[in-house]
Amino acid sequence: MRLAPLLLIALLAAPAPAAADPQENAQGAAATAAAPAPVAQPAASPAPIEEPCPQFGLQFAMGAPDGLVLSLVYSPLSWLLLDAGFAYTLAPGLVLGVEFRPIDFFVSPIIRGEYGYYFTGNTAEQIKKWSGLPEASWPLVGDASYNWFSGLLGIALGSRRGFTFTVEGGVGWLSLNVKGGSGTIDNGQITTADWKAQSFMPVARLSFLLFF
């Protein structure tokens, strides 16, 4: 028996695959076209880097007993300032200070401690005038210098990265050091010893600071 005719009859008797519905094909194509394209997400921008505070500045101050002071300021930390400067009132001098600014803001509180020293100069001449000594007694007053320690509280206005203005006040411990002298008064030779006067005193200070 031949198998070829039987296989041909079986193939002809098998049902043909149904053709795809044209309407279904059109709906699938429309759905594919209507699907939104994926939107590209923008890349995350890096966090802004805070600009570091400058470490150096130039400061001009005036006050009592500071006088007029021009200082160089060094700030190793954003909340700590160290200054050293040349001062002048009745004589040349120097002022050293340490300052704490705990808040980095436009308005900041200040805690300050300082030491100042004025060398001999015109201080003795002013003491003679202020004390009302007769000119014949002036030789008894020699050179005079003074130094002080003070603590101040205040407020700073401005930018820690630019210009600031400060107002401070407090109390200080002042030492006036006067050397003795010798002179002839009423036909007698008089010699005076060195002496020192110490007392608490109010302290006030205004300053202008420019960081660079």
Question: Which amino acid makes up residue 55?
Answer: Q
Q: Give residue 112's pLDDT.
A: 98
How far, in Å, CA of 17 to CA of 27, rounded?
A: 21
Q: What pTM did the predictor assign? A: 0.71
Q: For residue 204, what are the CA distances in angstroms to 43, 66, 86, 147, 178?
A: 55, 8, 18, 16, 24
Q: Taking 90 as the threshold, does the pLDDT of residue 118 lie above it?
A: yes
- Tell me the per-residue pLDDT of 54-83, one tens digit each, with 9 for 90 and over: 999 999 999 999 999 999 999 999 999 999
How many Å is the maximal CA-CA distance in the chain?
A: 171
Residue 166 has φ and ψ, to the nearest 5°, of: -125, 145
Are 120 and 131 in contact by the 8 Å Cβ rule? The answer is: no
How far, in Å, CA of 169 to CA of 63, rounded?
A: 9
Residue 90 per-residue DSSP state: S
How far, in Å, CA of 87 to CA of 118, rounded?
A: 8
Q: How confident is the model at residue 53 (pLDDT cuts 50, 70, 90)?
A: confident
Ordered domains of the chain (ranges, CATH): 56-211 (2.40.160.20)
Q: Taking 50 as the threshold, does the pLDDT of residue 126 lie above it?
A: yes
- Tell me the per-residue pLDDT of 151-209, one tens digit each, with 9 for 90 and over: 999 999 999 889 999 999 999 999 999 998 888 777 778 888 898 999 999 999 999 99
Report the candidate in 139, 141, 137, 211 with the shortest Cα–Cα distance to residue 179: 141
More confident: 25 or 112: 112
Q: Taking 50 as the threshold, does the pLDDT of residue 20 lie above it?
A: no
Tokens 């509180």 -> residue? 109
> How much is the average pLDDT of 109-122?
95
